[in-house]
A = this chain, B = another copy of it.
Amino acid sequence: MTAIWSPEARFRIWFEIEAHATEALAELGVVPKSAAKALWDWWATNPAIDVAAIDAIEAVTKHDVIAFLTWVAEQVGDEARFMHQGMTSSDVLDTCLAVQLARASDILLADLDRLLEVLERRAHEHKLTPTIGRSHGIHAEPVTFGLKLAEAYAEFKRNRERLAAARADIATCAISGAVGTFANIDPRVEAHVAAKLGLAVEPVSTQVIPRDRHAMFFATLGVIASSIERLAVEVRHLQRTEVLEAEEYFSPGQKGSSAMPHKRNPVLTENLTGLARMVRSATIPAMENVALWHERDISHSSVERYIGPDATITLDFALARLTGVMDKLLVYPARMQKNLDRMGGLVHSQRVLLALTQAGVSREDSYRLVQRNAMKVWESDGELSLLELLKADPEVTAALSPAEIEDKFDLGYHFKQVDTIFERVFA
């Protein structure tokens, strides 16, 4: 990903844009065919891009594209003077950015594919591993660890679709001249360059490609980053000492703390939590970039010089890191079961509530009956058993037999639709 944003990569894309454009101009008879040939012949020698030389010219001209064209002319010779005919710098800069963001998207899409692959594998591995579902951080009812992973899978699948849409939004080519009127350049040049670079034609540009496209792109990265944060926070919760249902892989030589030798910290997912904040922070500047003045001002440029590389490189790194974490995540089913059991069966309270209602007890009375026993278990910190208390409560047993009550404490009951859900998610 870093390579996409190197000066050399940028100059290479610039050259291709200029050369493809010259080719089209030659085809249209605007410039000699020899001009395009000269450019491609030179390119075929696989020349090194002398970034320092171009920078030195820019120091004088204070204009990056002119500096680049000057340097290319020095290499290619006289025929190079036909380059950039009728074009404006932004034609090169914005089309180049489109290529870079499209390439960045391809890497991120591949990252997402790898993450999805890992999530799918591990979801199936733990499809029926029982664990407690928690709302508000409080034990609720049983779920499976595979379901948690299936949720993550579905979320990143949506993110994949969003990114594909954002890629399409961003991947346009504009070669329309100084203020987008094609006054000095035929639209067919744009069409040719677009086709060669795998871009769509920008239907109407000013001097620049409109920035609502980029705003949408970076907002989409922000949403993906937020999903990363969600899964990272889940792992951090699972690893905390009192829960310890899963852990980031801890390599033998690793030291968790310089002061406390016993520690194994979820540092990768904590790191991901921070990285998510960073990727997200590109959203607002990208939106502030939309309202350029008239046919353009250049305020967007300094913003994009940061967020272009930073947001894509950080997200690439974060997706890869998350994939690694999920791939090697140490999962502890025994501990999950232990936690599931620790509340004295409180997690089954709703089933009893429903059973009482179905046995003809009013909803209000059912709630009261379950709650008064549940609260005793709660206050005993799981030492008392809800099952035993219910079986000893005459108001309850008046409606339900002991066997009927016991039946409500069956874990399998909760998982009967897991297949259906997996079918929906992975089919």
Contact = CB atoms under 8 A, between A and B. Distances in A.
Interface stretch (A7-15, A103-111, A234-242): A234-242
A264 interface: yes
B374 A154 contact: no
B227 A212 contact: yes
A244 B274 contact: no
Contacts of A158: 169, 212-213
Nearest to A346: B262
Interface stretch (A44-52, A217-225, A392-400): A217-225
Nearest to A306: B278
A141 B350 contact: no
Given A262-B374, A280-B284, A187 B420 contact: yes
Nearest to A386: B262
Contacts of A81: 357, 362-363
Given A66-B255, A88-B258, A417-B187, A285 B293 contact: no
A187 B386 CA distance: 28
12 contacts: A63-B258, A86-B354, A136-B296, A137-B239, A142-B181, A143-B295, A155-B210, A183-B351, A204-B425, A223-B290, A236-B293, A262-B343
B179 A140 contact: yes
SS class, residues of chain A in contact with chain B: helix
Interface string A239-279: 11111100000010111111111111111001101111110
Interface in A330-359: 335, 339, 342-343, 346, 349-351, 353-354, 357
Size class of the contact patch on chain A: 35 or more
A277 to B, nearest CB: 4
Nearest to A251: B62
Contacts of A179: 133, 135, 140-143
A286 to B, nearest CB: 9
B418 A181 contact: yes
Given A65-B258, A134-B294, A263 B203 contact: no
A229 interface: yes
Nearest to A92: B258
A139 B179 CA distance: 10
A73 B276 CA distance: 37
Interface string A392-416: 0000000000000000000001111
Interface string A112-148: 0000000000000000000011111111111100010
- The 4 A-B residue pairs with the shortest CB-CB distance, nearest first, are A133-B179, A262-B374, A274-B302, A137-B240
A321 B215 CA distance: 23
B216 A138 contact: no
Given A178-B140, A241-B138, A289 B302 contact: no
B288 A288 contact: yes
Given A134-B241, A207-B140, A296-B136, A283 B285 contact: no
A349 to B, nearest CB: 5
Nearest to A177: B259
Contacts of A87: 259
Interface in A34-81: 60-63, 65-66, 69, 73, 81
Given A62-B254, A184-B354, A203-B424, A138 B265 contact: yes
A291 B147 contact: no
B288 A181 contact: no
B215 A137 contact: no
A182 B270 contact: no
A137 B381 contact: no
A275 B263 contact: no
Contact of A261 (B61, B343, B374, B418): B374
Contacts of A420: 182, 187
Given A165-B165, A229-B291, 15 more contacts: A62-B251, A63-B254, A135-B294, A136-B236, A142-B179, A184-B350, A187-B420, A204-B424, A204-B425, A212-B226, A219-B220, A219-B222, A244-B381, A262-B375, A270-B299
